[in-house]
Amino acid sequence: MTIARPGRPQDLPAPDVLWARWGLVAVLEATVAAEERGGHRTGHWIDGHGLRLDDCGCTWWTLSRLGEGRFVLYGEDESSGVKWHEPAVDMLATGPDWLPYERLRELLEGYELGCVYWYENGAWARAPYPEDLSDDGLDCGMSRFVDRADALRNLAYGDQEWGRPAVPAEELLTAAEERRLTPELLRAAVGDSPAAARELPAMLRTLERTGLG
């Protein structure tokens, strides 16, 4: 699956698939130290807003569940031309009434938002874009999860302190997508190094919060 520039709603997979791939990375990156710091982080994690991604430079994203069958994906990649477009693009145009408008408008006022996609009734949607808009950042921001091959490469070549997963990336990703990523499988994946033993409690708490088990 590929993402056009600018992105199209049909470029995104079902939100449960997106959640599973993103959530698995959050589980594998979880550390006790990051939990204790709280607040904003870098990397991948889950908090009260939902699944988060921030590389502390070029891209940040949030995927939130907002009720049965409802999700919102919002964020920004430096490749997005939306917030600089003239005339201005209303990223919230045609949005449903259940979107987190207070949060989104706060980001808009701070020029921190690049695009917004929402999901209900079995389909993704977004505001209309002008024909001359070249990019909204969705490709650079989300291709790591939308393309399954990219998702597998990210798992196989992660930079976790405890090393690469001891369970094949394909097995881990499939388990997450099928909501059967058990604590036992996670323990087998991270092995028994001192670093893995130290961070496993944080990984298990993140696993519970993501609901991938």
**Rounded Cα distance, 86 and 37, in Å:** 40
**Residues found in the chain:** 213
**Rounded Cα distance, 158 and 175, in Å:** 18
Work out the angle between the directed axes of helices 169-177 and 15-29 (0-180°, nearest 10): 130
Say if residues 144 and 154 touch (Cβ distance below 8 Å).
yes
Residue 88 has pLDDT above 80, yes or no: yes
Q: Could you read off the pLDDT of 34-76 as tens digits, one per residue?
A: 988 877 788 999 999 999 999 988 999 999 999 999 999 999 9
Q: Binning pLDDT at 50, 70 and 90, where does residue 163 land?
A: low
**Rounded Cα distance, 3 and 9, in Å:** 9
Using omega within 30 degrees of 0 as the cis cutoff, is the peptide bond preceding 100 cis? no
* 91 closest CA partner among 77, 71, 108, 106: 108
pLDDT of residue 154: 82
Residue 191 has pLDDT above 70, yes or no: yes
Specify the residue for token string 């607040």. 39
Q: What is the mean pLDDT of residues 16-41?
A: 91
